[in-house]
Amino acid sequence: MPLFDYSCAGCGRVFESLVRSSELDTARPPCPDCSGEDTHRNTMAAFSVGSGGGSGPGAWRPPAMSQAGPGPGPGGCGGCGDPRGPGACSTN
């Protein structure tokens, strides 16, 4: 099922909603904040294949990014960007 971004004309909230393929032309889910019916589809956010909820404990999440950046690579500092790889530059 496609996952679409919708916006509410009543309160301005932007939200996502799964839509059945058979309802692509007619689906207008109500706003989760104000329950308004005047919602408009913006873009397709993603495509869901499974039947899971998407936000539970088994849902996919992007890997956590380090606040400090990538850090040193194996065999050298890895900070100069030498295309031959970490430890290949003349600063070591």
CATH of the domain at 16: 2.20.28
Does a structural domain hold residue 37? yes
Does a structural domain hold residue 7? yes
Return the sign of the alpha-carbon dihedral for residues 40, 43, 47, 53. Answer: negative
pTM of the model: 0.46
SS percent in the chain: helix, strand, coil, step 5: 5, 25, 75
Does a structural domain hold residue 36? yes
> Could you report the per-residue pLDDT of 19-39, keeping only the tens digit for each?
887 887 888 899 999 999 999
Of the pLDDT bands very low, low, confident and very high (cuts 50, 70, 90), residue 73 is very low
Domains identified in the chain, total number: 1
Does a structural domain hold residue 22? yes
Look at residue 30 in the predicted model and tell me its pLDDT. Answer: 93
Of the pLDDT bands very low, low, confident and very high (cuts 50, 70, 90), residue 11 is very high
What is the domain extent for residue 27? 2-47
Look at residue 75 in the predicted model and tell me its pLDDT. Answer: 47
- Mean pLDDT across 6-12: 93
